[in-house]
């Protein structure tokens, strides 16, 4: 595709339910990143994939958060037993090969609201 | 610890006037520095980056930024602001010596250009 796509664009869920957020990176990009943007806050790094492996999971806030990437392409971020503080915009980004100099290209985000 | 500071939550400027959005950073080694812009309900868009070389970097939409190592700053500038420049601007840094591929983002500065 022409850019990074994310689905759903909006998700409303009840506290305690599980949610899955999907990211389709730019074709051919081997590096994939998840960030969280809370109201009034900067972007918070969650996890980085290079291919199917995740060498940096340091930003995942708790064990309720997990992510996987299959086939070196699509990634899914799963939040189990959602809490109200999980409400935020979740952004995915990809880059060509994970080189430090590379620009990351961001998707439009998934806006999650936990009631 | 690595960090990025954007000291102004909001910057107001009249259309046609020059604009500056401030960013300072703290990293342990030599940084890669980036500016991104976020329009309402859109993902982040890359504006420009400093990797090495000339301290004045030119980017998209007429924006430029000056890397100042002694002041650890990377302020974003534009000679003549447009109403359409109104958006949320993020500064980000990657520390090339730490081995991490993640961006460290500032909290963002909302630019409002007044007609």
Determine phi and psi for A14, rounding to 5 degrees: -95, 150
Task: List, in sequence order, every residue forming a beta bridge with A19; answer none if it has no partner.
Answer: A79
Please name the member of B42, B103, B107 whose beta carbon is closest to the beta carbon of A104: B103
pLDDT band for B98, please (50, 70, 90 cuts): low
**Partner-chain contact B43 A59, CB within 8 Å:** no
Task: Dig out the tokens for B82 from the structure.
Answer: 């447009």
Residues of B in contact with A100 (CB under 8 A): 32, 94, 96, 101
Q: What share of chain A is helix, strand, coil (3-state, %, to 5)?
A: 5, 50, 50
Restricting to B residues 9-48, those with a Cβ less than 8 Å away from any Cβ of A are: 32, 34, 36, 41-46
Instruction: Give the number of other CB atoms < 10 A from CB of residue B82.
Output: 14
Which one-letter DSSP state was computed for residue A102? P
Task: List, in sequence order, every residue forming a beta bridge with B53; answer none if it has no partner.
Answer: none
Contacts of B54 (CB under 8 A, 6+ apart): none
Cα Dmax for chain B: 45
Dist CA A8 CA A11 (whole Å): 6
Dist CA A95 CA B110 (whole Å): 26
**Partner-chain contact B46 A43, CB within 8 Å:** no
Closest residue by Cα to residue A34 from A101, A114, A88 = A88
**Partner-chain contact A56 B90, CB within 8 Å:** no
pLDDT digits (tens, 9 = 90+) for B61-90: 999 999 999 999 999 999 999 999 999 999
**Partner-chain contact A103 B46, CB within 8 Å:** yes
pLDDT digits (tens, 9 = 90+) for A24-82: 999 999 999 999 998 767 789 999 998 888 878 888 999 999 999 988 899 999 999 99
pLDDT digits (tens, 9 = 90+) for A97-114: 867 778 889 999 999 999
Dist CA A15 CA B18 (whole Å): 47
**Partner-chain contact B101 A107, CB within 8 Å:** no
pLDDT digits (tens, 9 = 90+) for B15-64: 999 999 999 999 877 788 999 999 887 789 999 999 888 899 999 999 99
Contacts of A31 (CB under 8 A, 6+ apart): A48, A49, A50, A94, A95, A96, A97, A98, A102, A104, B101
Determine phi and psi for A86, rounding to 5 degrees: -80, -10
When comparing pLDDT for A27 and A1, which is higher?
A27
Dist CA B13 CA A85 (whole Å): 34
């Amino acid at each position: 595709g022409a850019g990074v796509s994310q689905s759903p664009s909006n998700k409303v869920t009840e506290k305690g339910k599980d949610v899955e957020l999907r990211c389709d990176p730019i074709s051919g990009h081997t590096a994939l990143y998840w960030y969280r943007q809370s109201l009034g806050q900067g972007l918070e790094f969650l996890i980085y994939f290079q291919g199917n492996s995740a060498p940096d999971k340091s930003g995942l806030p708790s064990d309720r958060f997990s992510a996987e990437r299959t086939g070196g392409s699509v990634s899914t971020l799963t939040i189990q037993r959602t809490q109200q503080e999980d409400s935020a915009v979740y952004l995915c980004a990809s880059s060509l090969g994970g080189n430090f100099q590379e620009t990351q290209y961001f998707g439009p985000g998934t806006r999650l609201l936990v009631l | 610890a690595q960090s990025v500071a954007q000291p102004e939550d909001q910057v107001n400027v009249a259309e046609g006037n020059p604009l500056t959005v401030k960013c300072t950073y703290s990293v342990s080694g030599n940084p890669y520095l980036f500016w991104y812009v976020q329009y309402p309900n859109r993902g982040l868009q890359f504006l420009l980056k400093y990797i090495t070389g000339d301290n004045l970097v030119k980017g998209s939409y007429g924006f430029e930024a000056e890397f100042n190592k002694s002041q650890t700053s990377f302020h974003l500038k534009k000679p003549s602001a447009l109403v359409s420049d109104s958006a949320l601007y993020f500064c980000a840094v990657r520390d090339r010596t730490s081995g991490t591929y993640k961006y460290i983002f500032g909290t963002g500065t909302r630019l409002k250009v007044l007609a």
